[in-house]
């Protein structure tokens, strides 16, 4: 008669078989989670790398544009100062010729008055004639002199004012470009934080922790991308 199977041994074999099936199922699930996590981390890393490269490049370009604008502003300000000095020289010349004419008026020498008037600049002569039309010798409400007339406008002064306005505009453009560069640098900080999260995620064995880090990193990446789209593109 053949020997029957020991019930204890049969139970042990059954438990081992069931436990082995559970271990294999758990191993497959862990492997699947590991692949998902690694794929998510790789995709997040690729997107962050591209975004960080763009943000860094844009920050460098805007920083260069800022320095160029500030340098141009400084150059224009120097030209404005030079033109202002030339305008001051013209004003001094006009004042001296007018003083010479006024002296001839005080002595009552008509011939010398005519000579003094011929020494006037053409632009000053226009203002002088307009001033004389107000009868300044008898009209107490007349302007103090030709330089107070609206017709008096040295071209050098107009050039100085235009250059000064252009210099101010360039300076403001430089400040705006510098602020844009700082904004892009701030965006790279967010992206660097994402890289840090992806880097430390591989040190954890728990998939739940790595999922949480990927989720938080993705949120930071989305924030950085939104900020990038709110900034102007590369400077022209």
Instruction: Name the least confident of 60-69, 93-102, 190-199.
Output: 190-199
- As given in the structure block, the two tokens for residue 5 are 């199977």
Segments in 119-154 forming alpha helices (H):
122-132
pLDDT reading at 21 higher than 70: no
What CA–CA distance (Å, rounded) separates 45 from 202? 12
pTM of the full structure: 0.68
Distance CA 213, CA 24 (A): 27
pLDDT at 41 over 60: yes
Instruction: List, for residues 155-171, the tens digit of each pLDDT value.
Output: 888 899 999 999 999 99
Contact 195, 52 (CB under 8 A): yes
Band of pLDDT at residue 211, cut at 50, 70 and 90: confident
Q: What integer pLDDT is reported at residue 156 of this predicted model?
A: 87
Residue 7: partners with Cβ closer than 8 Å, 6 or more residues away: none
Which tokens go with 86?
Answer: 């030339």
What is the spatial distance between Cα 225 and Cα 48, in angstroms, rounded to a whole number? Answer: 10
Please give the Cα distance from 85 to 78 (Å, whole number).
Answer: 11
Where are the strands (E) in the chain, listed by range?
none
Of 96, 69, 25, 116, give the one whose Cα is nearest residue 17. 25
DSSP type of residue 145:
S
Which whole number is the average pLDDT over 99-108?
A: 90
The share of the chain scoring above pLDDT 90, in percent, equals 51
Q: What is the spatial distance between Cα 195 and Cα 63, in angstroms, rounded to a whole number?
A: 24
Per-residue pLDDT band for 11 (boundaries 50, 70, 90) equals low
Q: Cα separations (Å) of 220 from 67, 193, 233, 235?
A: 30, 8, 21, 26
How far out from the chain centre does Cα 192 lie?
A: 21
DSSP for residue 147:
G
**Longest alpha-carbon distance in the chain:** 162
């Amino acid at each position: 008669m053949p020997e029957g199977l020991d019930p204890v041994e049969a139970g042990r074999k059954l438990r081992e078989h069931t436990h082995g099936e559970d271990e294999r199922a758990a191993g497959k699930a862990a492997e699947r989670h590991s692949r998902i996590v690694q794929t998510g981390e790789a995709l997040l890393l690729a997107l962050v790398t591209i975004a960080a490269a763009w943000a860094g490049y844009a920050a460098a370009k805007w920083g260069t544009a800022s320095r160029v604008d500030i340098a141009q502003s400084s150059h224009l300000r120097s030209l404005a100062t030079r033109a202002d000095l030339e305008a001051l020289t013209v004003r001094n010349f006009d004042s001296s010729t007018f003083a010479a004419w006024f002296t001839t008026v005080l002595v009552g020498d008509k011939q010398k008055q005519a000579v003094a008037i011929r020494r006037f600049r053409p632009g000053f002569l226009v203002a002088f004639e307009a001033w004389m039309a107000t009868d300044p010798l008898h009209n107490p409400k007349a302007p103090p002199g030709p330089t107070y007339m609206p017709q008096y406008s040295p071209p050098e002064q107009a050039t100085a004012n235009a250059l000064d306005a252009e210099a101010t505009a360039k300076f403001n453009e430089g400040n705006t470009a510098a602020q844009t560069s700082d904004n892009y640098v701030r965006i790279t900080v967010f992206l660097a934080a994402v890289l840090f999260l992806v880097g430390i995620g591989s040190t954890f064995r728990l998939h739940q922790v790595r999922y949480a880090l990927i989720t938080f990193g993705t949120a930071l990446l989305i924030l950085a991308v939104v900020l990038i789209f709110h900034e102007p593109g590369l400077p022209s």
